[in-house]
Amino acid sequence: MKSVLGLHHIGFTVPDIEEAINFFRDVFGTVTVMECGSVDVDDEFMARHLGVPSGIKIADQRVIQVGRGGSLELFEYSGVGSGQKLKHNGEVGAMHIAFEVDDANAVAERMRGAGVDLLEGPTLIEGGPMDNLVWLYLRAPWGQYLEIVSQKGPLGYEADGGPKLWTPSSGE
């Protein structure tokens, strides 16, 4: 079996792709690297390849680059009823995306000044496997949970000599 090379991208659906593109650009400095537009295929293709019900189409699809890390593939679908709610973090299938920043406290202050919806924090973890991690959850305008993280030093689990997490700052 050939080896897995790594995480290529994270794809998720947003209600308004222009709003999402502007938010990620303004808050995280992302760059749009690919604009695919709408996808003109039939219902059978959509069901077989993407698992969506009849009448749902990809209205727009774009890929954005996040610093030195992975890419995000954003989808906006048409034919979906309004009033859908995102899952809260305790529900199966819920997700968040974490962005490494050089200083979570300074970035949080900048975000507060820009009116970004921040939850409580940043929080420094002291002790345990995530010792030295500073983290803060925030919400995108459409409610998606995101996170910023930075480190005050090596993470606690690294003292045991285990494999290190890849991070944009380490490049490892």
Segment 160-166 mean pLDDT: 80
pLDDT one-digit tens code per residue, 9-24: 999 999 999 999 999 9
The length of the chain is 172
Percent of the chain with pLDDT over 70: 98
Distances (CA, A) of 65 to 31, 68, 72, 104: 5, 8, 7, 20
Tokens 């944009």 sit on residue: 168
| pLDDT for the residue numbered 33 | 96
Domains in the chain, CATH or no CATH each: 1-79 (3.30.720), 86-162 (3.10.180.10)
Would you say residue 116 has pLDDT above 90? yes
pTM of the model: 0.90
Mean pLDDT (whole number) for 158-168: 81
pLDDT confidence tier of residue 85, bands split at 50, 70 and 90: confident
Given this model, what pLDDT does residue 1 score?
Answer: 60
Q: 39-51: per-residue pLDDT in tens?
A: 999 999 999 999 9
Strand order in the sheet with 9-13: 9-13, 71-78, 57-65, 31-35
